Amino acid sequence: MSEITKQSLSELIKNIKDKKLSSTEVTKAFVERSEKSKKLNAYVTEDFSAAIDKAKKFDQNPNLDLKLPGIPMAVKDLFCTKNVKTTAGSKILNNFIPTYESTVTQNIWNEGAILLGKLNCDEFAMGSSNETSFFGCVQNPIDKDLVPGGSSGGSSSAVAAQLTPITIGTDTGGSIRQPASFTGIVGLKPTYGSCSRYGIVAFASSLDQAGPMAQNVRDCALLHEVISSYDEKDSTSIDFKRNNYVKELTNNIKGKKIGIPKEYRVDAMPKEIEDLWKKGIDYVKDCGAEIIDISLPHTNYALPTYYIVAPAEASSNLARYDGVKYGFRADGENLIDMYEKTRSEGFGAEVQRRIMIGTYVLSSGYYDAYYLKAQKVRKLIKNDFDEAYKKVDAILTPSTPSSAFKIGEKTNDPVSMYLNDIFTVPVNLAGLPGISIPAGHDAKGYPLGLQIIGKAFDEQNLLNIAYAMEEKINFKNKITDWWIK
């Protein structure tokens, strides 16, 4: 048996079910490695001793029929966890201890998993590099100078560095897929409405979705099966028949039609990304799938649309942080002064910037010119996909226009930071599922990802294509444990 923390989720489950490993042994191994990995700054809150206690309790009377029997797992700090501090990477929630549990994490604990701790993320999930977190940036285990991506940067770093066997992130414009791509792991953004948003700190409600981040496609399918559920506590949760994603997982994708959108060949895209995409096309062809050239003509309008819709929804969602009911409060001379100081001191620069954009585009006189316009363009973007899916079963693109960039490289230029999400944002606007799988390395040895975009509710097909490609790609992450002395 290989070292515990090197095992995939599926291997760990098998070893626990075969009684070759106990939950306590597994949990202790991940706690020890996490303790040695503080330099990465992946955790905001550690819950290690409680985790070991829960593991011991599990081992006393193990229910091995569960899907995640005694598996330790750290989760993004955007999910409310009952009695465990939940900060959303913000000063304004630095003292917030939820009295309730998010549906997605509840689903995970119901299947026997154990909370290890809460993982760092961009403040309110607004960022593409984890640098907007109040708790500092996270290091990418690939190289100490690199960002781990964002907003689920603590999550991607923790999975790649094997501090947790698997995790969940959230994705509003690419926050699962981009960090997965930057750290050489698999990340799935499910169809809007498949995972409940109840108990997730809200950013942009019409775009937010939770999803799994894993070392491989099978693990990803398993966690998706656990978290995807209809929930009446989320009014946009959709009641549809969920698959047994793992049981139905197959590498047989013969005859599937895969679309290649010409608009994703963006200006100044590095040659290595172009080459990776070509290689990806060859892989799916090798699997017996058919390649079809398609057009998504409004692709270039996705980012400007997103930067109206997302900040507008954020400005509305974040109005609740007023220093009264929970969270940080600054003293003020009167009520208004207290509100203004609380929000000015409690929110970081990027969050304030987005609240301001959102307030402006929703303000009287500008609503039609900006917000309504963006909603109309959003419709055109969705129509593009609807049209494409008359001809193809899925779409293959790069996940990001570059590999991971350096810490500090883009912090002074918000627009260049936003451009990072050019391939992922259209998927959220259209509410579709998308998966990023590690597919190669650039000249510097940094991982690069390919994205597969599916039809709504067609996660099974998406996972199958990813599974078949994964086998062909045979990706190996280059991680040296440089942060452990």
Partner 1 sequence: MIVCDIFNYHMSIDLKTIKHISKLSRISVDEKKAEKLAGDLNSIFEFIEKLNELKTDNVQPLTSVAETTLKLRDDKVKSKNLRDQIIKNSPQENEDYFVVPKVIE
Using CB under 8 A as the binding rule, whether residue 366 contacts partner 1 is answered as: yes
Using CB under 8 A as the binding rule, whether residue 359 contacts partner 1 is answered as: yes
Nearer to partner 1, 367 or 482 (CB): 367
**Residue 423 DSSP SS3:** coil
Using CB under 8 A as the binding rule, whether residue 64 contacts partner 1 is answered as: no
Residue 168 vs residues 73, 129, 172, 206: alpha-carbon distances, Å: 9, 17, 14, 19
Out of 89, 169, 259, 431, point to the residue binding partner 1 (CB under 8 A).
431
Q: Which of the following is catalytic: 8, 23, 28, 76?
A: 76
Using CB under 8 A as the binding rule, whether residue 337 contacts partner 1 is answered as: yes
Out of 241, 271, 325, 485, point to the residue binding partner 1 (CB under 8 A).
325
Q: Which of the following is catalytic: 34, 128, 129, 151?
A: 151
Out of 62, 270, 332, 401, point to the residue binding partner 1 (CB under 8 A).
332
Using CB under 8 A as the binding rule, whether residue 360 contacts partner 1 is answered as: yes
Least distance to partner 1, CB of residue 394, Å: 18
Q: Which residue has the tokens 């569960």?
A: 66
Using CB under 8 A as the binding rule, whether residue 232 contacts partner 1 is answered as: yes
Using CB under 8 A as the binding rule, whether residue 324 contacts partner 1 is answered as: yes
For residue 253, the Cα-to-chain-centroid distance in whole angstroms is 26
Least distance to partner 1, CB of residue 360, Å: 5
**Ranges of H-type helices in 192-254:** 217-227
* Residue 76 falls in the annotated catalytic set: yes
Interatomic CA distance for residues 169 and 121, integer angstroms? 9
Listed ranges 42-50, 106-114, 132-140, 233-241: which one lies at the site for partner 1 (CB under 8 A): 233-241
Interatomic CA distance for residues 436 and 31, integer angstroms? 27
Nearer to partner 1, 62 or 304 (CB): 304
Residue 344 burial (10 A CB sphere; 0-12, 13-18, 19+): exposed
Nearest C-alpha neighbor of 73 from the set 230, 245, 213: 213
Size of the residue set binding partner 1 (CB under 8 A):
74
Integer-rounded Cα Rg, in Å, for the chain is 21
- Residue 208 CA neighbour count, 13 Å, CB half: 27
Interatomic CA distance for residues 156 and 114, integer angstroms? 19
Out of 305, 402, 420, 461, point to the residue binding partner 1 (CB under 8 A).
305
Nearest C-alpha neighbor of 466 from the set 320, 193, 280, 263: 280
Angle between helices 217-227 and 9-17 (to 10 degrees): 70
Least distance to partner 1, CB of residue 164, Å: 27
Cα dihedral angle (152, 141, 91, 77), rounded to 10 degrees?
A: 40
The β-bridge partners of 411 are none
Using CB under 8 A as the binding rule, whether residue 377 contacts partner 1 is answered as: yes
| Cβ contacts of 1 within 8 Å, gap of 6 or more | 7, 15, 20, 21
Using CB under 8 A as the binding rule, whether residue 97 contacts partner 1 is answered as: yes
Using CB under 8 A as the binding rule, whether residue 170 contacts partner 1 is answered as: no
Using CB under 8 A as the binding rule, whether residue 263 contacts partner 1 is answered as: no
Least distance to partner 1, CB of residue 276, Å: 27
Nearer to partner 1, 224 or 343 (CB): 343
Q: Which of the following is catalytic: 128, 175, 228, 403?
A: 175
* 133-162 binders of partner 1 (CB under 8 A): none
Listed ranges 21-29, 121-129, 267-275, 328-336: which one lies at the site for partner 1 (CB under 8 A): 328-336
Out of 91, 96, 109, 269, point to the residue binding partner 1 (CB under 8 A).
96
Out of 15, 295, 352, 477, point to the residue binding partner 1 (CB under 8 A).
352
Least distance to partner 1, CB of residue 148, Å: 24
Using CB under 8 A as the binding rule, whether residue 334 contacts partner 1 is answered as: yes
The β-bridge partners of 272 are none
Nearer to partner 1, 322 or 442 (CB): 322
Using CB under 8 A as the binding rule, whether residue 372 contacts partner 1 is answered as: yes
Interatomic CA distance for residues 61 and 51, integer angstroms? 16
| Cβ contacts of 344 within 8 Å, gap of 6 or more | 330, 352
Using CB under 8 A as the binding rule, whether residue 293 contacts partner 1 is answered as: no
Pairing state between β 257-261 and 72-76 = unpaired
Least distance to partner 1, CB of residue 465, Å: 22
Using CB under 8 A as the binding rule, whether residue 61 contacts partner 1 is answered as: no
* Residue 175 falls in the annotated catalytic set: yes
Cα dihedral angle (279, 280, 285, 286), rounded to 10 degrees?
A: 70
Q: Which amino acid is at 266?
A: V
Least distance to partner 1, CB of residue 234, Å: 10
Using CB under 8 A as the binding rule, whether residue 390 contacts partner 1 is answered as: no
Using CB under 8 A as the binding rule, whether residue 307 contacts partner 1 is answered as: yes
Interatomic CA distance for residues 223 and 68, integer angstroms? 9
Q: Which residue has the tokens 């918000």?
A: 414
Residues with catalytic annotation? 76, 151, 175
